[in-house]
Amino acid sequence: MTRTMTCDCQVVITAEDTESLIAPVKAHFDEAHPEFEDTRAVIRNYLESEDRSNGPTERLETIGEVEIVPMGPGSAADAIEFFDTDAFPDNPWWGACYCMFFPRGGRKNENWGQEPWQENRDDQLHRIEEGKTTGMMAYSGGQVVGWCNATSRAELPGLATGHDEGIVSVVCFVIAPPYRGHGVATRLLEGVITNFTDQGFRRLEAYPVREAKDEARAFHGTLDLFSRFGFEVVSEEPLVVGRDLG
């Protein structure tokens, strides 16, 4: 049985298995797409994400009842399983992230993307279990279908300023492909506002995109979404919005 990868340029690359596919994929990118500067680590993460991300990709016309619940230590395994299989079956390039970009330093981390996905997975699992990553999760039929990472800014080295008391950063929405376009992100943000108000936090901060090419790339949330919930622009470059709680 062979292992193949189809590049976005429609070139099909074949090898005996995932491990032996890394070298020819790297050679193809070096020759055809040198602007991406993809390393063996990045390519390995992509191929292994493609192997495990086997969730459905077709959008549902209608969805059943969706329950929004706070993320907590008891839901850590559910969250990680969601990222393993259902979060990015249509975009394996993102499958290694596990929402660890800001915990690992954000744009200040020049080595971001080189970490093995297993490290990001394990670290995020422990962060959720220890209460360092928080937010809301969407369930349907007993399965996680959406995630919103809303975490104390002090716990995110890529965003923390040293003046972070009482501030929650809303950094990421991930919705499984079948559930996109059904208002799940809206309901997750509603849950964030209620949950962190009840916990006594004083302010929410977010980092939206103005014009996303598609729903998947709106993972920081859109400016329209946050504006509908009373967030105001506090910085244009980079775009930052915020609203008080309570």
Segment 224-246, tens digit of pLDDT? 999 999 999 999 989 999 999 98
Residue ranges of the domains in the chain? 3-52, 67-244
Which three-class secondary structure state does DSSP give residue 192?
Answer: helix
Q: Name the 3-class secondary structure at 218.
A: coil
pTM above 0.75, yes or no: yes
pLDDT, tens digit, 9 for 90 and up, residues 102-136: 999 999 999 999 999 999 999 999 999 999 999 99
CA distance 242 to 205: 4
The answer to whether the beta carbons of residues 48 and 18 sit under 8 Å apart is yes
- What tens digit of pLDDT does each residue of 206-228 get? 999 887 777 667 899 999 999 99
Give the max Cα distance, the chain: 59
Give residue 13's pLDDT band: very low, low, confident or very high (50, 70, 90): very high
Q: Give the mean pLDDT of 131-157.
A: 97
Residues in CB range of 114: below 8 A, 6 or more apart: 39, 41, 42
DSSP letter, residue 178: G
CATH (one of 1.10.10.10, 3.20.20.10, 1.20.990.10, 3.40.630.30) for 67-244: 3.40.630.30
3-class secondary-structure state, position 209:
strand
What residues have CB less than 8 Å from 118, skipping those under 6 apart? none
